[in-house]
Amino acid sequence: MTFPNAGSQERPVPRLEARGITKGFPGTLANDHVDLVLDPGEIHALLGENGAGKSTLVKIIYGVLKADSGTLLWEGRPVTIASPADARRLGIGMVFQHFSLFESLTAAENIALGLDSAPRPRDLAARIREVSKRYGLDVDPDRHVFSLSVGERQRVEILRCLLQEPKLLIMDEPTSVLTPQEVSRLFETLRQLADEGVTILYISHKLEEIRSLCTQATVLRGGRIVGAVDPRTVSARTLAEMMIGGDLVVPAHEPVESAHAPRLVVRNLSSTSDDPFATELRDVSFEVRAGEILGIAGVAGNGQAELLAALSGESTTAADHVEIEGQAAGHLGPRARRALGLAFVPEERLGRGAVPEMTLAENAILGGAASRGLVRSGVIDGQGARAFADRIIDLFKVATRGHGAEARSLSGGNLQKFIIGREILNKPRLLVAAAPTWGVDAGAAAAIHQALIDLAADGAAVLVVSQDLDELFALCDRIAVMFHGRLSHPQPVGQTSVEQIGLLMGGLFDRSEAGKGDRDVA
């Protein structure tokens, strides 16, 4: 590798160069003659809408996929990267959006599984402590993963890469599950790595983070490179409009009055579980009023999944612990709660929000069988289902080849728009949405936000459970925080801040207030 001499204007040899990368799948061209140059010590953002081709490109770089045509050059030499093992041998590491850790194993054991040649356990633990201290990642190698916070788990993933001394580190949505304070610490680590010459390819839909961290940004749209820019010199809106190829419409949300009747009341909800990895709910109380959007923030694993199961009817409790439209519903299952006016958007799109192998028309039936009369006396109205799916696709601008497409063929953002659209068009009186725009690009996120705002404006009560504080502050009238199964007192958004909510997410709230929720809930 050649670096320029002091005072020289000579460009360094790129760490990685992609030339004319092309990759197609049935019905789509994911990468269309993509060129990308990554220099040593650069923090380079890769931007684009869902389905723009980002994931395909990084999977080619990391050896998960093989390009149909094009060339990869590593430090000036043409290379073939046939597998992730090939990538790691070159010096390429990748931290995926979804963690791949075994909860019953220790941090050190998980790290050992990811190393092509792991040292003896004692030596590995010492090495983990050394690298952890050097980069401020603070991981105890002997702790079991189930006892770690989400931020700590991400550090384990990063350390697993760093122990292989990568020259190129690819990070996919690395801050989606972190508090603002954890994001700041992560950025310090990434800047230190860049100062040491490591190249970082950074994928994120959080454009203000891109502007704060990255020194270069390449934008993909429809599988093609449409622009490159120094993100520090342009606005987040400009970056978003480069991604979507048009004007970004920012949703407007007017605060609601507090006099409306509650549509959802949760009263002294607690839970127990035989699952050693579950978080037990402890005396959770709150209400969501007609026309209101209430947000619940928190780092994943603090009881959100258990709360959502209790609200959707997947788990039941005493009847009066959950009220929907004034009726005791804690003992009811999902179908009975839907009959009371509840709609539910789960965090897991494929498998819970939609059946992967089923068409969009068939998936439309799942949320509209009763409310839209798509099933009568056990007989499916196929024409009605297809018409309903077409209406969702049209109104929510879902990019797909039609109602006959399988759910798994859609990008994450487009499938999320379809699921949100399906639930909203059923005209619910209460909508519970988990991470409604997780991993979704700016254009799709704006459309989803506007749909939720419009639903509340029509009189529905909306509960949004999310780790994205920007999303919650843009959408919500009040925000509460979950930590270790307890819920803080909901605060009007005008009376709190991102920093304060971030501290609450880390557990720094008055325990005497935790779980009380709304003062007027008996």
Per-residue model confidence as pLDDT tens digits over 129-173: 988 888 877 888 999 988 777 678 888 888 888 888 899 999 988
9 pLDDT band (50/70/90 cuts)? Answer: low
Using the predicted structure, report yes or no on whether residue 514 has a pLDDT greater than 80.
Answer: no
Using the predicted structure, report yes or no on whether residue 8 has a pLDDT greater than 60.
Answer: no
Residue with tokens 């120094």: 230
Tell me what pLDDT residue 255 has. Answer: 66
Same domain, 210 and 94: yes
Using the predicted structure, report yes or no on whether residue 510 has a pLDDT greater than 80.
Answer: no
Using the predicted structure, report yes or no on whether residue 174 has a pLDDT greater than 90.
Answer: no
In a domain, 103, yes or no: yes
Tell me what pLDDT residue 300 has. Answer: 76
Count the domains in the chain.
Answer: 2
Same domain, 105 and 167: yes
Give the C-alpha distances (Å, rounded to integers) separating 512 from 418, 468, 486, 507. 41, 26, 11, 13
Same domain, 273 and 208: no
Which tokens belong to 296?
């619940």
CA-nearest of 321, 302, 296 to 311 is: 321
In a domain, 204, yes or no: yes
Phi-psi region of 485 (alpha: psi -120 to 50; beta: other; left: phi over 0): left
In a domain, 398, yes or no: no
Which tokens belong to 201?
């390819």
What values do phi and psi take at 240, rounded to 5? Answer: -60, -40
Tell me what pLDDT residue 148 has. Answer: 79
- Please report, as a single letter, which amino acid is at residue 359: T
From CA 229, how far away is CA 227, in angstroms rounded?
7
470 pLDDT band (50/70/90 cuts)? Answer: confident
DSSP 232: G
CA-nearest of 242, 208, 198 to 224 is: 242
- Please report, as a single letter, which amino acid is at residue 216: Q
Same domain, 153 and 204: yes
In a domain, 391, yes or no: no
Give the C-alpha distances (Å, rounded to integers) separating 268 from 196, 279, 489. 52, 16, 13
515 pLDDT band (50/70/90 cuts)? Answer: very low
Tell me what pLDDT residue 357 has. Answer: 92
Residues 145/146/147/148 CA torsion (nearest 10 deg)? 50
Tell me what pLDDT residue 512 has. Answer: 36
Same domain, 30 and 137: yes
What values do phi and psi take at 445, rounded to 5? Answer: -60, -45
Q: How far is CA 85 from the centre of its chain?
A: 27
Whether 90 contacts 79, CB under 8 Å? yes
The model's pLDDT over 372-392, given as tens digits with 9 standing for 90+, comes to 778 777 788 889 999 999 999
Residue with tokens 């996120």: 445
With H, G, I as helix, E, B as strand and everything else as coil, classify residue 478.
strand
Tell me what pLDDT residue 117 has. Answer: 78
What percent of the chain stands above pLDDT 90? 52
In a domain, 511, yes or no: no
Whether 155 contacts 107, CB under 8 Å? no
Looking from the CA of 507 toward its CB, the CA atoms found within 13 Å total: 7
Per DSSP, helices labelled H in 52-98 are: 54-61, 84-90
CA-nearest of 199, 98, 240, 71 to 157 is: 98
From CA 414, how far away is CA 363, in angstroms rounded?
14
Tell me what pLDDT residue 438 has. Answer: 78
212 pLDDT band (50/70/90 cuts)? Answer: very high
Same domain, 61 and 189: yes
- Please give the average per-residue pLDDT across 78-98, as a whole number: 90
Q: Cα Rg for the chain, rounded, in angstroms?
A: 24
In a domain, 393, yes or no: no
In a domain, 436, yes or no: yes
Whether 363 contacts 355, CB under 8 Å? yes
Same domain, 192 and 69: yes
From CA 164, how far away is CA 84, in angstroms rounded?
13
CB atoms within 10 A of CB 326: 11
Residue with the larger pLDDT of the pair 335 and 116: 335
Tell me what pLDDT residue 215 has. Answer: 94
With H, G, I as helix, E, B as strand and everything else as coil, classify residue 421.
helix
CB atoms within 10 A of CB 123: 10
Residues contacting 242, CB < 8 A, separation 6+ = 47, 219, 221, 226, 227, 229
From CA 118, how far away is CA 109, in angstroms rounded?
10
- Domain of residue 233: give its range: 16-244
Same domain, 223 and 115: yes
Tell me what pLDDT residue 505 has. Answer: 85
Same domain, 183 and 277: no
- Please give the average per-residue pLDDT across 421-428, as a whole number: 92
In a domain, 97, yes or no: yes
End-to-end CA distance of the chain: 69
Per DSSP, helices labelled H in 99-235 are: 107-113, 121-135, 150-162, 180-195, 207-213
Using the predicted structure, report yes or no on whether residue 72 has a pLDDT greater than 50.
Answer: yes
CB atoms within 10 A of CB 260: 14
CATH of the domain at 485: 3.40.50.300
258 pLDDT band (50/70/90 cuts)? Answer: low
Which tokens belong to 174?
């690395």
- Please give the average per-residue pLDDT across 440-469, as a whole number: 89
Bridge partners (DSSP) listed for residue 221: 224
From CA 111, how far away is CA 142, in angstroms rounded?
11
Lowest mean pLDDT among 105-114, 147-156, 247-256, 477-486: 247-256
Same domain, 24 and 77: yes
Tell me what pLDDT residue 442 has. Answer: 78
Q: Is 19 exposed, middle or buried (0-12, 13-18, 19+ CB in 10 A)?
A: middle
181 pLDDT band (50/70/90 cuts)? Answer: confident
Same domain, 221 and 86: yes
Whether 60 contacts 21, CB under 8 Å? yes
Whether 265 contacts 320, CB under 8 Å? no
Q: How far is CA 247 from the centre of its chain?
A: 24
- Please report, as a single letter, which amino acid is at residue 90: L
The model's pLDDT over 18-47, given as tens digits with 9 standing for 90+, comes to 999 999 988 789 999 999 999 999 999 999
